[in-house]
Structures are given as C-alpha cells and as structure tokens.
Structure 1
C-alpha cells in the first residue's frame, strides 16, 4: 500500500471505479495536505460541491464552520484542515429528495491508503450517520442521535457530529444538548490545533490518533 500523499491523491482523482453506477461523470472531491491535522469526514459531496470541486461550499458548510468557530477564509486557507468524505463523488439525487447514500466501495478502496498518508492527524470529525457507521463499525450506536450523545466514548481522536444540512435543523432544536456540550468542545479542539505552529511536528502522543 502506497503512503505517498500526492500519489494517493492522484490515484483518487483518476478513479472511475463507480462510473457505471453514477448518473454523471465521476469527479472525486478531496482536499488534504501533508500538514493536515484535523480531517472532516462527511458522507459524500452534494450537487453544488460536485460542480465547484470544493468541499462544503454550501449552507451545510456555513453551519459546519460556525460549529468549528472558523471563518470561510481559514477553512480553505489553513492546510491543517482537510476534507475527505466517506465517498469522494456526488452519488446523485434520489427521486424522493435528498442525495443517494454514499457507496461503501469508495471508502473500501481508498480510505486506508489515504489515512496512512496523513501521519500528522490529531482529530477526525465524523459528520453524519453514514460516515459514523463506516468508521466506527461495531462501536456505532443504534442511531445517529445515540452515537452523537456518546461522543465522549470516541474522543480524543474522533468526534461525531450530526450532518450540518438544513434537513437537520429540527434535530438541532430537539437536541439542544449538542450545542451546549459538543460544540464548545469542538471549538476548543479546533482552536488548539490551529494555534499550534504549522512548522512544528505533532504534539507527543497525538499523531495518528484521529484516523478513521
């Protein structure tokens, strides 16, 4: 298994393994760097991200950045922040509304290689139920709400979050504990990672602890 990041990213961007199953030409979207220490693992790009090629350029991204306590410029300019969803290509929109689930084949093909090429990792954000189910395996709870309630069980290397989609606005209203308990912890972790000088190595005992 190759662990050279540029080689892995080149292979991912050239991947056409799911071409026959997608309603469009594959366009893998992944944004990581050798310096990446905080990795955002969502489910799959949406239509707008498929068109732009830049992850979280939508209202979901605005809400996620608010949870993290970072602005738009920092989110895209700081190479310590990376984005690599469970599936790299937009899966298409289902007839009943919403996007199709991310195909598990993508993570099976690429996630082990990608994570092996990111040795500086400190924290992975698992955003949404599909990403949590893939990364946590048997440790995932009965549903997304229970998994997020148990967020302390997965810290410090992993942090589970609901998807920041507008579709989860009602969930956020019903679960105010999320913004009381989880969001302050998330902001504290993000602040600690971004305040640490880029030119220095990872803090002792943290490298690799955020892999998913």
Structure 2
C-alpha cells in the first residue's frame, strides 16, 4: 500500500491541487488540473492554462505549442517532462474553454488559491519563464511594459532569474514573423540560461 503524502508537504499540496473542484461550475469540460512540479526543479515554466488537447491527455504542453516551446528551450521530452528538473505551473490549472478565436482567460480563483502556497515550495528554481500576458502580469507586476512585445523586448531588464516569453502557439506565427529579433536575440540567451539553470553543457 502506498504511503500517503505527509501533510504540509509539496506532494500533499499537489494531490490537493489535482483534486480541486473550486471552479467546476465555470469549466465547460469539467475540472482536470494539469501541472508538473517537484521540490528539486530548477526551471519553472509558467503558461496561461491548458488547451483542449492538454485537457484530454492530462499531459502539460502536449500540443503544437509545447513542441515549439521545447525547441525554444533546447530540451527534449525526457528532460522537459522530468519534474525534478522542470516545473510546469500554468496560471490556471484547468482548461477554461473557448472565447472568441482562442481559449478563454485562466480563471483567477485558481491562481489566488494555489500559487501563493505552491510557488514558495519550489525553492531550487533558478530560472522562471513567464509565458504570455497573464504570467507576466503576475511575476513582473509594475515592471511589465504596456504591451507583451515591449515586455519581451525588454527581457534584459528583468535580471537573470526571469525571462518573459510570448506564447509559442501556432496562432502567433504572425508575431514571430513581425519580430525576427526574438529568434536572433532572445532564443540564444534563453537556451544559455536554461542550460545554466539545469547545469547542463551546450
């Protein structure tokens, strides 16, 4: 018989998060919290919320956005999905459904309830990657620029521990074409910082 997680531990908190039903009435496909974390993780990736494919599979970033993100980071699936190396903690843990031409915003109750308890337990994290406007608002606060493009372009201002990124969604292909500096300037620095955080060689 498996030993139950110790009360107050990260494992106990993750079990509570995965059993969460707080937003059930507002979720068109029901609750299915999706995240990955370990107290040993050294890289924290913070996205918006799971998409429909991730909701169906229960695997974070298991879609075209995830493939592009792993290319940006220079990580294969074995490392990316190793919770002792990489924590994957979106701003909302459940798929919020559709709104207009894309997915709805993450429900704020999720972040308000769980992030203040979860993030302090990730003490080994040396690099945080806030992806998209919701994560950047949370982690950068008043240091965030008026637009996502300006925020990402100012990546050097946020120090060695934070590096804001656009969302790697295929829907953003126009942004990537309009901002070639991202590929030439940001991605090489991103990969260097990821290698440094994980203690791997180029």
The equivalent of 1:178 in structure 2 is 182
Which residue of the other structure, out of 94, 104, 107, is the alignment partner of 2:108? 104
Check 1:3–1:168 CA distance in 2 against 1; reply closer, same or farther (3 A cut).
farther
**Alignment length, in residue pairs?**
195
Distance 2:11 2:61 in 1: 22
Runs of 4+ in 1 over 2 A off after TM superposition: 193-196
Distance 1:195 1:156 in 2: 15
Distance 1:127 1:116 in 2: 19
Runs of at least 5 residues in structure 2 that lack an aligned partner in the other structure: 1-6
Q: Aligned to 1:161, what secondary structure does the other structure show? A: coil
Which residue of the other structure, out of 11, 33, 36, is the alignment partner of 1:31? 36
Which residue of the other structure, out of 55, 61, 86, is the alignment partner of 1:50? 55
Distance 2:199 2:157 in 1: 25
Which residue of the other structure, out of 174, 180, 188, is the alignment partner of 2:192? 188
1:163-191: per-residue Cα shift (whole Å, max 9, x none)? 00011111011111111111111100111
Which residue of the other structure, out of 157, 162, 169, is the alignment partner of 1:158? 162
Check 1:170–1:66 CA distance in 2 against 1; reply closer, same or farther (3 A cut).
same
1:136-193: per-residue Cα shift (whole Å, max 9, x none)? 2222111100111111111211110000001111101111111111111110011122
RMSD: 1.6
Q: Given that residues 43 and 131 in structure 1 are in contact (C-alpha distance below 8 angstroms), is that contact kept between their aligned partners in structure 2?
A: yes
Q: Given that residues 3 and 114 in structure 1 are in contact (C-alpha distance below 8 angstroms), is that contact kept between their aligned partners in structure 2?
A: no
1:18 is aligned to 2:23: yes
Check 1:149–1:31 CA distance in 2 against 1; reply closer, same or farther (3 A cut).
same
The equivalent of 1:64 in structure 2 is 69
1:35 deviation in Å?
1.2
1:103-136: per-residue Cα shift (whole Å, max 9, x none)? 1221111111111111111011001112111222
1:46-85: per-residue Cα shift (whole Å, max 9, x none)? 0000011110110100110110011222211362111000
Distance 1:93 1:148 in 2: 26
